[in-house]
Structure 1
Amino acid sequence: MDEHGGHMHHSGGHPEPDAPAFHGMAVVGDDTPFLSHLPMPGPPHNEQMIVQAAFGAAHRAYRNDRKAHPEARFYTFAPEVFTLSDLYPGEAGEPPARTSFTGSLFRNHFEQPEAHPETPVEIATDVVVEVANVVNHHKFTADDQQPEELTYLLFGKGSERFLAHWITGPFQPTSRQEFDHLMTADVQGMEVSDDQLRHGIQVTVTGRPDEPGGKFKEGERAAAVAAVNGGHVTVEIEADTELYFEAGELTPH
């Protein structure tokens, strides 16, 4: 496949290095962009990753396009070929091998898959993405255990809050269907600081199965348990707008 014709994403992590590859990403956020890697079940694609970033000189074009096209649910980024794990600090706190990468920014999905048929529009080229913070990254493995109850990662900055479905392996015939899901959201029942959101807050929706049919719907409220500071807090999650949903690319082939 060419680099825009298929997800040649790859996984990262320590200590085993990965080969450079193409990692398509979903982009959410107005004031602060967040990029979410578009994963697949097997290597070199088998990793969920969310980073807080900045678009530098291209930020104005991004903001202006979002204002001009409020109907657009999400944007995507088609980057250069690089090693995803180079963005991650080492396990002992070593600085990452790199803190930026370049590519093209699109309104809608740059691959225009069947689930996202909106016409992709390239709004900026040669964009330098400066990674300010790695919110979360985890690789899918054959030993993964899927949570029984619906689980998301709450992240964001300032007034912008998002939910990302927590994706795991092991992608076996007996596994439940995994899915990638991004929504805007809010949380009631606890004060949430930017510092807490820096690495995301895992929230488990009470009594709801972790499968596509159980996912949050727009405008829905549900009781959940948030994992905060080593403890658990009962909260209410208010899901707002669905930005991205994909299950087909997380089906084992």
Structure 2
Amino acid sequence: MKKLTLIAGLLFAGAAGAAQPGGNFGTHGMALFGGKEALYTSHLPMFHAPHDYQVILQVHLADRKLDAELRQRLNGKTALWTVDPEKFALDRLAPNAGEPLRQFKADLVLGHFERGGKAQYSSATVVVDKVLMYRQLAKDAKTSDGARYVQLGSGKQRFLVKEIDSRPDFDHIVAIASPHDAATGAITVAKQGLDETAAAALARALPGAEVIGTVYFDTADLK
């Protein structure tokens, strides 16, 4: 196996060029994960418009009671939740957006909203606290020897999200328990192929951390 390397760096992976509001209007489904420390959503991208962006948000629910209940239900667990939002232009989440998206209505679904998941909360108001990543995917075929994961959170409860940089590729979100004083930068491991064995490599790359498990793994949308 190739040497595992720890890479320090900012979570924000860089924006594409200036986007015109309304250029990618549609239903932008997302994975939902987190817990008491924070809630996150990760856009479920594809290599075609209007979904050809990897976008990660830190969010909360406008309803405080619902927000607390959702955090308790998620709380670092690996059960898949997804967000089925109202339609909006994804480029309103770009760093340079003229009319940035502050909040949106969505159904919060236990399971995949397009693959048999069941809505648990309907028409919840999701408030955007931070845009942690906004980057356009390259459409051309490309291979990469390494798999780079950005790290979300700075306390004990953290998550790793793979940066999509190849075609074909895989979308992978991993829950971990980490020492409070552990580094928060991104990590890169040798690519294990389009499967979940990368989780084992991630465990070895994070001394003192425990890999809880995979929150989301998919290859179907990234062929």
Report the TM range for the smaller structure's normalisation. 0.7 to 0.9
TM-score by length of 1: 0.69
Matches within 5 A, 1:15-94: 15-17=18-20, 18-31=23-36, 32-57=38-63, 58-63=66-71, 65-66=73-74, 73-90=79-96
Distance (whole Å) between structure 1 residues aligned to residue 143 and residue 194 of structure 2:
13
Distance 1:188 1:143, change over 3 A: farther
- 2:201, 2:158 → 1: CA distance? 14
Deviations 1:59-107 (A, max 9, x none): 144245448xx986121110011011212321xxx77622111111111
Q: Deviations over 1:154-192 (max 9, x none)?
A: 1125332001111024x3xxxxx3001111124579634
Q: What is the Cα deviation at residue 37 of structure 1?
A: 0.3
Task: Count residues with an aligned counterpart.
Answer: 204
Sort the Cα spacing of 1:63 and 1:38 in 2 relative to 1 into closer, same or farther, 3 A.
same
1:212 paired residue among 176, 183, 194 = 194
Q: Give the TM-score taking structure 2 as reference length.
A: 0.77
**Identity over aligned pairs, percent:** 24
Unaligned runs of 5+ in 2: 1-14
Over aligned residues, Cα RMSD in angstroms?
3.1
**Structure 1 residue 223 corresponds to structure 2 residue 214:** no
Deviations 1:138-158 (A, max 9, x none): 111246864311221111253
Cα distance in 2 for partners of 1:185, 1:72 equals 10
Letter in 2 for 1:212: L
CA distance in 2, matches of 1:155, 1:21: 26
SS of the counterpart of 2:88?
coil
Tell me the residue number matched to 1:155. 152
Counterpart residue type for residue 88 of structure 2: F
Q: Any conservation in 1 of the 2:33–2:74 contact (CA below 8 Å)?
A: no
Take 1:243 and 1:214, find their aligned partners in 2: how far apart are those partners?
Answer: 11
Q: Which amino acid aligns with 1:27?
A: L
Match in the other structure for 1:125? 122
The structure-2 alpha-carbon separation of the partners of 1:219 and 1:188, relative to structure 1 and needing over 3 Å to count, comes to farther
1:127 deviates by 1.0
For 1:101 and 1:140, the matched residues in 2 are separated by 24
Cα distance per residue 1:106-137 (max 9 Å; x no partner): 1111111xxxxxx5221111211111111112
Q: Which has the higher contact order (CA 8 A, sep 6+)?
A: 2
Contact 1:88 1:96 in 2 (8 A): no
Counterpart AA for 1:16: A
In 2, Cα distance between the equivalents of 1:81 and 1:21? 5
